[in-house]
Amino acid sequence: MRHPNDGELRRLLDEAWVVPAPLRGHVQSCERCRMHIASLQADAEAAQALFGTEGTTDAAAARERFALNLGKGLAPVRSAAPPRRLPYWRIAGGAAAAIAVLAIGFTPIGSYAKGLLLIFQPQSFKAVPIAPSDGAALPNLRQLGNLQGVRNIRLSPAASLAAAQAAAGFKVLAAGQGVPANLGSPVYAVMPSQTESLQLSASKVAAYAVQHHLQIPPLPADLAGSMLSVTTGPAVVTSYGGSLSTLGASGRMPQLLIAQAPAPKVYSTGATVQEIEQYLLSIPGISPQLAAEIRSIGDPTRTLPIPIPIGRALSKTVMVNGAQGLAINDQTGIGSAVVWQKNGMVYTVVGSLPESQALTVAQGLH
Amino acid sequence: MSRIDGGPVGEGFDALFLAEWPRVVGIARRVLGSGVAAEDAAQEVFLAFYRRFGNALPERPGPWLYAAATHTALNVLRGERRRERREQLEGQKAQALLDPAGAVVAREAERELQCALRRMRPMNAAILALRYAGLRYQEIAQTLQIPVDQVGTRLRRAEIALRKEIGNASSERR
């Protein structure tokens, strides 16, 4: 078997499933190719860091502005909007993604309207390998429906652990062993309860199909009428070596983050999580490997998939004080995370520290 | 409903605008950064599209829009639209007053990338903007009108060129 050329190796990093299996197999067994693809990967990651990730934009407002531009004839109307800050995700990277997993949904059930059906209450986590191109292929839910409610994670500083506990309304665990002494004192922040709702829209699905030139099956009637609602309940984030609440200003991630929140719950007015999963996986562009991984989860109402970028992170199952969790490291030694659930609470430790030390911090929470 | 040249903007164009706007802006942002210039460039792209096609949408409008987004943004970057650049810089000054530390980080990173893109060959800059805006290889091939099996090779070349440009800029600062 010949060595793949640079173009094939480069595509292997982005769209592995289109590279012939014999070439993929060769790369896995050939040390020279593995070393070479690592250098390609380093350049790709450096470029990704420079170009950043997608920011937000308001297409409807842009459409109104476009109408004004058309009316005026030639030059486009200059935007009066203030310049955007560097997107949070662009700075925060993978650690923020782990926090976002927590922010998917935390609970208070009490305020929920009658008729809502609890469809998602994960008891465990499963690592799902995801190619970078899968990230691009997976539709953003905003592209498939109408999203309402708060969209950003808002964190308010708390003066102490006791203050954070009072604001959140649950017992907040304190860190003990494993926290590097040079990181100084912890800083606490509380994310208040928020609600986000999504109503899948047949017209938006159609527009998505036009945009991506895809043959997407029409949205089933019961899905089109369904409203998915997520309440993001109070979460407490303890940070060392920087404050998450001032992240946008400083541009630096704290060295260590500990997030605690009640386990996520998602409600629907009709559709089951299986129906939603089945439909999303029917959208072309998602690699067969990813679809198979997600389907293999079994009962999706009990397991939260955690995306693990292929070639960029590794994961393994760990035990944290008697609870099963997931340890993730980014293969570079720069960062690692431990996620676990116990007594209805989800905990995450994320930091610029080795996996073993992250696990020590996790086990030291009390 | 908007009108141009006496004709109404059709629902097909509206749906296309709403669907493609984020991606067109995304491509422009890879070249022009997170300021307002990227949205201005995207507006120009859709105006040009509408003037050319009206409501008679081509079979595959995406590649046309993505190519136009790349060219328009690179043209702005290369100083053919100096006024827009001045306005963007004014905006950055305002941002610096509100958020000094964040503005420094953002400006420095964007400036470094934009200097590199300005010096690179247009094909290299274009393929980087398209790929890192999330386009798949097939879409990049259609946009740049090259065979899909050349995308990986050209992307690799562009990433090497970017590394060298960034490296050169760093050594010049030292």
Q: Which residue would you say has higher pLDDT here, A352 or A159?
A: A159
Q: What percent of chain A has pLDDT over 70?
A: 61
Measured CA to CA, the distance from residue A129 to residue A42 in angstroms comes to 19
Q: Answer whether residue A104 shows pLDDT above 50.
A: no
Whether residues A133 and B136 touch (CB distance < 8 A) is answered with yes
pLDDT-derived band at A65 (thresholds 50, 70, 90) equals confident
pLDDT on residue A219: 81
Residues of B in contact with A136 (CB under 8 A): 134-136
pLDDT on residue A91: 22
Q: Which of A106-120, A141-155, A231-245, B76-90 has the lowest mean pLDDT?
A: A106-120
Whether residues A9 and B152 touch (CB distance < 8 A) is answered with yes
Is A330 contained in some domain?
yes
Burial of B40 (0-12, 13-18, 19+ CB in 10 A): buried
Whether residues A60 and B134 touch (CB distance < 8 A) is answered with no
pLDDT-derived band at B135 (thresholds 50, 70, 90) equals very high
Mean pLDDT of A242-268: 65
Is A57 contained in some domain?
no
Same domain for A138 and A40 = no
Measured CA to CA, the distance from residue B50 to residue B101 in angstroms comes to 41
Q: Answer whether residue A291 shows pLDDT above 80.
A: no
Q: Answer whether residue B104 shows pLDDT above 50.
A: no
Question: CB contact, 8 Å: A366 with chain B?
Answer: no
Closest CA to A4 of A133, A285, A29, B123: A29
Q: Answer whether residue A302 shows pLDDT above 80.
A: no
Mean pLDDT of A120-144: 60
Same domain for A264 and A315 = yes
Q: Answer whether residue B100 shows pLDDT above 50.
A: no
Same domain for A38 and A136 = no
Is A78 contained in some domain?
no
Is A1 contained in some domain?
no
Same domain for A169 and A27 = no
Q: What is the pLDDT of residues B48-88, one digit of tens each?
A: 998 888 888 888 899 999 999 999 999 888 874 454 444 44
Chain A residues 5-24 with a CB less than 8 Å from chain B = 5-11, 14-15, 18
Same domain for A331 and A272 = yes
pLDDT on residue B41: 92
pLDDT on residue B130: 96
Is A309 contained in some domain?
yes
Mean pLDDT of A77-100: 31
The domain tally of chain A equals: 2
Q: Answer whether residue A111 shows pLDDT above 50.
A: no
Q: Which of A47-51, A268-272, B53-57, B88-92 has the lowest mean pLDDT?
A: B88-92
Mean pLDDT of B92-118: 55
Same domain for A287 and A155 = yes
> Please, what is the average pLDDT of chain A?
71
Q: Answer whether residue A284 shows pLDDT above 60.
A: yes
Same domain for A106 and A253 = yes
pLDDT on residue A130: 62
Q: Are B172 and A50 in contact (CB under 8 A)?
A: no
pLDDT on residue A88: 22
Q: Are B166 and B128 in contact (CB under 8 A)?
A: no
Q: Which residue would you say has higher pLDDT here, A328 or A166?
A: A166
Q: Which of A35-49, A159-173, B8-22 has maximum average pLDDT?
A: A159-173
Whether residues B36 and A78 touch (CB distance < 8 A) is answered with yes
Q: Which residue of B has its CA nearest to A11?
A: B152
Whether residues B159 and A43 touch (CB distance < 8 A) is answered with yes
Coil, helix or strand at residue A27: helix
Chain A residues 98-137 with a CB less than 8 Å from chain B = 133, 135-137
- Phi, psi dihedral angles at A189 (to 5 degrees): -145, 150
Domain range for A23: 6-51
* End-to-end CA separation in angstroms for chain B: 56
pLDDT-derived band at A140 (thresholds 50, 70, 90) equals low
Same domain for A37 and A93 = no
User: Among A45, A58, A84, which would you mutate to test the B interface (most chain B Cβ atoms within 10 Å of its Cβ)?
Assistant: A84
Question: CB contact, 8 Å: B152 with chain A?
Answer: yes
Residues of B in contact with A65 (CB under 8 A): 43
pLDDT-derived band at A199 (thresholds 50, 70, 90) equals confident
Same domain for A281 and A170 = yes
User: Among B105, B120, B163, B166, which would you mutate to test the A interface (most chain A Cβ atoms within 10 Å of its Cβ)?
Assistant: B105
Q: Which residue would you say has higher pLDDT here, A179 or A53?
A: A179
Question: CB contact, 8 Å: B72 with chain A?
Answer: no
pLDDT-derived band at B169 (thresholds 50, 70, 90) equals low
The structural domains of chain B, ordered by start, are 3-173 (1.20.140)
Is A62 contained in some domain?
no
Q: Answer whether residue A312 shows pLDDT above 50.
A: yes
pLDDT on residue B80: 47
Same domain for A341 and A214 = yes
